[in-house]
Amino acid sequence: MRQVQVNLPGREYTILIGSGLARLPGAKAWNALVAGRRCLLVADSHVEKLYGPAFQEILAAAGAAAVTTAVFPAGEESKTLATFGELCREAARAGLDRKGLAVAVGGGVTGDLTGFLAASWMRGIDFIQVPTTLLAMVDSSVGGKTGVDLPEGKNLVGAFHQPRLVWCELDTLKTLPDREWRCGLAEIVKYGVILDAPLFARLEGHTLATLQAEPETVAEIVARCCEIKAQIVLADERETTGLRAVLNYGHTFGHALETCSGYGRFNHGEAVAIGMGMAADLAAVLGRCPAELPARQDALLRQLGLPVCAETTAEVTPETILELMFRDKKTAGGKLRLILPREIGTVEIMSVEDRGALLRAIGGRTHGNTGESRGADRP
């Protein structure tokens, strides 16, 4: 089993990474948190079917005073104030008091919703993250950002609230659909580009299938990503110094793409993959990175089965994407602050005002209907 420590003063927590963790000594930390408390187990409809009963048992065996399961329909479409409201009412019906514990079992949607519930319920209760998607293991379950989407944009309402424990049970990845694996891989590529050239190079030796066949490699990669995320969170927990913002590489473009396509067409990782393509193109257009960087990044993303371009529709146009990016919360004083690659393993934060360059970078990655769906090749 691997452990990564997030040493935020007064709010330290451990990330446990392994298989069959309930049987391992790390489970002590879990038992200590759970014993004697009323627990609200939150899962989406897919994950509840797969793992709900197992986790109910695990919580009961750890001595939970009571376990209530709250289920919501799977999908980003559920990451709303309405679902948040439903979960609050579930917490009320479950009799969760200030000592209550929320347990998120699922992907980033479940983690963000449950974390926001835990941040708000009784003005803040403890919560545990049990990420069951690769994306949630390497990214969303660590760092304490919680929240929900609005029709006007992603993650516009939320709070910082750190979990008390993160339990990455790698066995759950066995049921994860390939498309969701790829989403996690997009975030892992992101870590490579922003901070870890050896990680990027290591990924270049893999496809989805080879990774799935090597659980030990996956465990190492998950642990490495958690380490990077923990370091960044430690240095800039609330995204005030700008350091944490590097995690948004590809995300300002990606969020805009997700928003204008209605959150249904691209999942988060796919939008981020395309967004990283746009960011890399922009860096190349502005002369801030080697001209061959976008192609190297594209090659890896494609090898992992990720899209690097989007098809234009009535809603998805370069102009709409740009407009949504300016509406994104990361604009400072009307300027777009973007994370751009300098080279693989190093990024910079840049204020970009050049609409022409932005539109060229976005336009180069959005194409009319070519008969190919996601991931159409660039001309």
Ligand X SMILES: NC(=O)c1ccc[n+]([C@@H]2O[C@H](COP(=O)([O-])OP(=O)(O)OC[C@H]3O[C@@H](n4cnc5c(N)ncnc54)[C@H](O)[C@@H]3O)[C@@H](O)[C@H]2O)c1
Q: How far is the CB of 65 from ligand X (least distance, A)?
A: 27
Burial of residue 313, with CB atoms counted within 10 A of its CB: 0-12 exposed, 13-18 middle, 19 or more buried: middle
Q: Would you count residue 250 as binding ligand X (CB under 6 A)?
A: no
Which residue in the set 69, 129, 172, 252 belongs to the binding site for ligand X (CB under 6 A)? 172
Q: In what helix (H) or strand (E) does residue 18 lie, and over which residues does it extend?
A: strand 13-18
Active site (annotated) includes residue 335: no
Active site (annotated) includes residue 187: yes
From residue 97, give the alpha-carbon distance in Å to each of 37, 91, 100, 116, 342: 9, 9, 5, 16, 49
**229, 237, 267, 270: which is the annotated catalytic residue?**
229
Q: How far is the CB of 50 from ligand X (least distance, A)?
A: 6
**23, 123, 152, 216: which is the annotated catalytic residue?**
123
**What is the residue type of 188?**
I
Active site (annotated) includes residue 365: no
Residue 59 and residue 158: Cα distance in Å, rounded?
Answer: 27
- DSSP class of residue 106 equals E
- For ligand X, which is the closer residue by CB, 74 or 230? 74
- For ligand X, which is the closer residue by CB, 38 or 110? 110
Residue 96 and residue 98: Cα distance in Å, rounded?
Answer: 7
Active site (annotated) includes residue 239: yes
- For ligand X, which is the closer residue by CB, 44 or 289? 44
Candidate segments 29-37, 46-54, 95-103, 116-124, binder of ligand X by CB under 6 A: 46-54
Q: Would you count residue 136 as binding ligand X (CB under 6 A)?
A: yes
Residue 13 and residue 89: Cα distance in Å, rounded?
Answer: 28
**37, 79, 190, 251: which is the annotated catalytic residue?**
251
- For ligand X, which is the closer residue by CB, 136 or 166? 136
- DSSP class of residue 369 equals -
Residue 70: strand, helix, or coil: strand
From residue 54, give the alpha-carbon distance in Å to each of 19, 35, 59, 69: 14, 17, 9, 12
Active site (annotated) includes residue 268: yes
Which residue in the set 118, 119, 176, 276 belongs to the binding site for ligand X (CB under 6 A)? 176
**31, 46, 239, 302: which is the annotated catalytic residue?**
239
DSSP alpha helices (H): ranges in 214-345? 215-235, 251-260, 268-285, 293-303, 318-327
**248, 267, 270, 311: which is the annotated catalytic residue?**
248
Which residue in the set 143, 254, 275, 318 belongs to the binding site for ligand X (CB under 6 A)? 143
Which residue in the set 56, 68, 83, 140 belongs to the binding site for ligand X (CB under 6 A)? 140
Q: Would you count residue 265 as binding ligand X (CB under 6 A)?
A: no
Q: How far is the CB of 189 from ligand X (least distance, A)?
A: 14
Contacts of ligand X in 51-90 (CB under 6 A): 74-76, 79
Residue 256 and residue 153: Cα distance in Å, rounded?
Answer: 8
**37, 79, 244, 365: which is the annotated catalytic residue?**
244
Q: Are 200 and 221 in contact (CB under 8 A)?
A: no
From residue 30, give the alpha-carbon distance in Å to each of 36, 59, 64: 12, 9, 11
Active site (annotated) includes residue 46: no
Q: Would you count residue 37 as binding ligand X (CB under 6 A)?
A: no
Which residue, among 167, 151, 235, has the nearest Cα to 24 in the 3D structure?
167
Q: Would you count residue 178 as binding ligand X (CB under 6 A)?
A: no
Q: How far is the CB of 157 from ligand X (least distance, A)?
A: 12
From residue 189, give the alpha-carbon distance in Å to each of 33, 216, 245, 376: 33, 18, 16, 20
**155, 268, 311, 365: which is the annotated catalytic residue?**
268
Q: How far is the CB of 248 from ligand X (least distance, A)?
A: 10
Q: In what helix (H) or strand (E) does residue 190 lie, and over which residues does it extend?
A: helix 178-195
Q: Are 170 and 18 in contact (CB under 8 A)?
A: yes
Q: How far is the CB of 32 from ligand X (least distance, A)?
A: 25
Q: Would you count residue 328 as binding ligand X (CB under 6 A)?
A: no
Site residues for ligand X per CB under 6 A: 44, 46-47, 50, 74-76, 79, 106-110, 112, 132-133, 135-136, 139-140, 143, 145, 154-155, 172, 175-176, 180, 183, 267-268
Residues with a known catalytic role: 123, 145, 187, 229, 239, 244, 248, 251, 255, 268
